Every structure is written in structure tokens, then in C-alpha cells.
Amino acid sequence: MSGAEAANDEIRFERRGALGLVTLDRPKALNALSLGMIDALHAQLDAWAADAGVTRVAIRGAGGRAFCAGGDIRHIYACGKAGRFDDVFAFWQAEYRLVARMQRYEKPVVALIEGVVMGGGVGISLHGAHRVACESYVFAMPEVGIGLFPDVGTTYALPRLPGRIGTYLALTGGRVGPGDALAIGLATAYAPAQGFEAILDRLSDGGPVADAIGTGAPLPPTGPLVAERSLIDDAFAADDVADILGRLDVAASAGSTFAAETAALIRTRCPTSLCIAREQMTRGPALDFPAAVLTEYRLVTRLMHGHDFFEGVRAVLIDKDGRPDWRPATLEAVDRDAVRAAFGPTERPEPRFS
């Protein structure tokens, strides 16, 4: 059987021999995940899991600019501003359930990543066995810039990256190219984008997945994460965000441009989000994947009733003035006890992610 099994305006599913192929198809929105896409993908994954003829799944984004730039944050913003919090929480639950489903999926999942992969796009790619980066690959988890926190399972994944790189990524939202992604384990293989269709052909033949994605293409050069690894490990080992900034400032005063730029970037981020993200990186190593996602759900349910997320989205995505009014506006004013309490159980019934 081949051809389209199911399709709508935002996501397409195909059966190609032994391969189940997912194409995210919102290129004008950088393939951001809508609730409809999330629900359709979850249902299709369940169907392919029960189909003995499908032995592997691949997922890609349409348009060439992005694999997936995240969840549909504009929709969440609009629902929250309208007071439709049942819709807000329905989105987060569905997205987190999908991420947890993909992490424990019974068959190999291959993400073919062209362009930007952020937020929800990370959630549906990073936790699978195979992440193929191409020359335009760009990874980022920039949630601290919109009053949120790194989610979609990165409470589990980021602290397990080498050294303190995960903490660096959580607090900066910095971008990672293909060379560094391969070096630190965000990506598992490399192929030029023009070779992705050939990979899909080999996957459809049903042979070993590793052989299908192993193109032997020359690897791209590494970048700042490898070059600055020692500085990152030292600075981001500090106990709190203020101490991290202090160490970066010392390195900057000694002539490190990377340290100066990193400190300046962190200082543009939401103070409360920074403190939450640092706490995530402390707790993450002790959590299994379902517990990490449940932790994220607890955090997001609290932040949805606060100020900073909606202000951050307004400043970055709606009005685009780049001048968020964070409350509180400084790290010193953040209530650390409230941050720690936000990780605890909520009063609402909590979903299961196992």
C-alpha cells in the first residue's frame, strides 16, 4: 500500500512500503503544531504501532525553512486573553501526551530536520532514536524569552547533555548549528537536505534503519558550544542564575567575547523563567521521562494564570516591540520559595504521561 493514508490542511500521512511518513504542512507558520495536528499525529502513531507492516516512522517539515518552530503559541495566547483556559490546558495536555507517546514509541522514529527546530518541534524529534540534521539545521529552546520555560521533555533531556551545555541552552535559548548538535548529541546523523528523499526511499525498503540514514556525508564543522565548552562548564555549574552571571562577567572582563554576549543575552530573559529553568536543570537528572513531563505540566498550569507568559508573547510575537514588562523585573526580586513550590502537585486533577 502506498500514497496518502490521511491528510488535512496542516499534516499529511503516507504509507511507503515499511515506512509511515509524517509531513508537517504549515510552512507559512514554520510548521508550528496546532491542536488538530497534535491530535491527528497521536492517532496516526497509534494506528501505525498496531500495523505490523509499518516497521519505522519518519517525520519531516514542509517548505524547507523549518522542521517545526514549536507549538501554536499565538493560539494559546488568544485563548488565555479571552479567558478560555479550558482550551489552553487542553492544548498543553495534548502536546505533552504526544511528546510522552513519542518517547516510548514501539518503533524507530526518524526525524529529518531541515531548518529551525524549536519548542514543540524539539518535543516530537529529540526523544526519538534518530535525528538527522542537514546543513540548515538550527536547534533552540528559547522559552525563557517569552516568560515560559524549556518544556516538551527537555527537563529530562537537557541535563543529560554533556557537561553543563543543557543548562546553557535552557538559560540562554541559544541557537545550535548542525556541527555542535552532532557533537553534543542533539542530532545523531548528518545528511544534506537534498539527500532526505533518498533516505526515505531506503527507509521504505525495510532494511536496517541505521543503514538507511547512514549517508557517509562529510560532517559539518563544530561551533561555539565545542569551542567554549570549558567556559560553559565552569560558568553554568554555579548554583543560581546570579552566580552564573557573575562567573560570565569575570570571564568577560578577562576578554571573552562569548562570555560577554552570553551574559547580555541572559539578562534579556524573563527573571522568573530563568530561575525556573535553573531549578529544572537541577531536578531533571533524578526524574524519569513521565515525571519530567508531569513536572512541566505542573509548571505550565501555574504560569498560564500569571503575567509573564502573556507579556512575553505580546512583546515577541504580537506587538513585536521587544520590550517585555517582566514582573518581577529583576532576579533579586524573584521569590525563590514560590519557584520551588511551583514544581509541586497542583490542586487540579493531573494527567498521566506514562
What residues have CB less than 8 Å from 66, skipping those under 6 apart?
Answer: 27, 30, 31, 114, 115, 116, 117, 121
Determine the structural domain holding residue 115 and report its residue range: 4-341
- What is the per-residue pLDDT across 174-230, written as a single tens digit (0 to 9) for each? 999 999 999 999 999 999 999 999 999 999 999 999 999 998 889 999 999 999 999
Report yes or no on 348 lying in a domain: no
Report yes or no on 264 lying in a domain: yes
CA dihedral (170, 65, 313, 260) in degrees, to 10, reads 40
Q: Looking at the DSSP assignment, which residues form a beta bridge with residue 60? A: 23
Report yes or no on 350 lying in a domain: no
Instruction: Supply the mean pLDDT for the chain.
Output: 96
pLDDT of res. 124: 98
Report yes or no on 98 lying in a domain: yes
Catalytic residue numbers read 71, 120, 143, 151
Alpha-carbon distance of 274 to 333, in angstroms, equals 12
Report yes or no on 237 lying in a domain: yes
The answer to whether residue 56 scores a pLDDT higher than 70 is yes
pLDDT of res. 216: 86
Find the CATH number of the domain harbouring 87.
3.90.226.10
Q: Do residues 163 and 180 lie in contact, with contact meaning Cβ atoms separated by under 8 Å?
A: no
Report yes or no on 276 lying in a domain: yes
How is residue 270 written as a grid cell? 524573563
Q: What's the domain count of the chain?
A: 1
pLDDT of res. 341: 97
Report yes or no on 347 lying in a domain: no
